[in-house]
Amino acid sequence: MVVVVVAKTPDAAVCLELRIVTTVDMQKPPPDFRTNFEATHPPILIDNGLAILENDKIERHIMKSVPGGYNLFVQDKEVATLIENLYSKLKLMLVKKDENKNNALLAHLRKINDHLAARGTRFLTGDTMCCFDCELMPRLQHIRVAGKYFVDFEIPKHLTALWRYMYHMYQLDAFTQSCPADQDIINHYKLQQVSLSLFEVGIIQRMVP
């Protein structure tokens, strides 16, 4: 989970400069977080001491109050459809661990690669980062890290447009400063697998007379 503090500094490439990102363990939140936000689910945006606590309000605040922020929120149904369900395919691959799930994820990545190749831009909708990039790149990072660790899945090198896209994203402070460490990503999925195993054991126990 993430608490984000956004500085009001425009960036020519990405509209925003993300200066501070604080990750919070929601199982053991620090005292100051517990005092102020215990009943609030992330994401939380804090701008000059003002806390904005809901997704819609966060978007409106960025659009109105952050220079260039309106550029983040573009309307593109094709791109919205293109990137949806990518994360669910990763989770299915990690749970099922079979070739069909690998192929489904690979086919989805190929579609994204083809889109990027056809547009020829740095990011999904143009040469400026937008909200869709903020959704896609963290998912790609999880695919790279968790996919490799748990099922030895790697994004193929021949998806050159997709790799070029990731290269551009890795150059941005907005991504690198907010990206979790690889081990944190791995631990996240390990905890999910433990929870799933306990859930399955509970079902089996209820089925046994």
Using one digit for the tens of pLDDT, what is the confidence trace for 92-139?
999 887 788 899 999 999 999 999 999 999 999 999 888 899 899 999
At 72 the pLDDT is 78
**Based on the structure, what is the number of domains in the chain?**
2
Same domain, 184 and 132: yes
Same domain, 92 and 41: no
Return the beta strands (E) in 29-153 as ranges. 44-47, 50-52
Residue written as token pair 């070739």: 99
pLDDT in tens, 86-102: 999 999 999 887 788 89
Same domain, 87 and 186: yes
Same domain, 145 and 161: yes
At 209 the pLDDT is 44
Same domain, 65 and 164: no
On the question of pLDDT at 5 being above 70, the answer is: no
At 57 the pLDDT is 84
More confident residue, 83 or 201: 83
Helix (H) or strand (E) holding 7: strand 2-7
| 81 occurs within a structural domain | yes
| 206 occurs within a structural domain | no
Most confidently modeled of 26-30, 169-173, 194-198? 169-173
CB 69 within 8 A of CB 16: yes
For residue 40, what are the domain limits? 2-71
Domain endpoint, select from 16, 41, 71: 71
Crossing angle of helices 99-119 and 86-96, in 10° steps, is 160
CATH number for position 126? 1.20.1050.10
* pTM of the predicted protein model: 0.73
Helix (H) or strand (E) holding 5: strand 2-7
In the chain, what percentage of residues exceed pLDDT 70?
A: 74
Helix, strand, coil % over all residues of the chain, rounded to 5: 60, 10, 30
Same domain, 14 and 57: yes
CATH number for position 31? 3.40.30.10
Give me the mean pLDDT over the 152-157 stretch. 96
Average pLDDT over all residues of the chain: 79
pLDDT in tens, 56-84: 788 788 778 777 776 778 889 999 999 99
| 129 occurs within a structural domain | yes
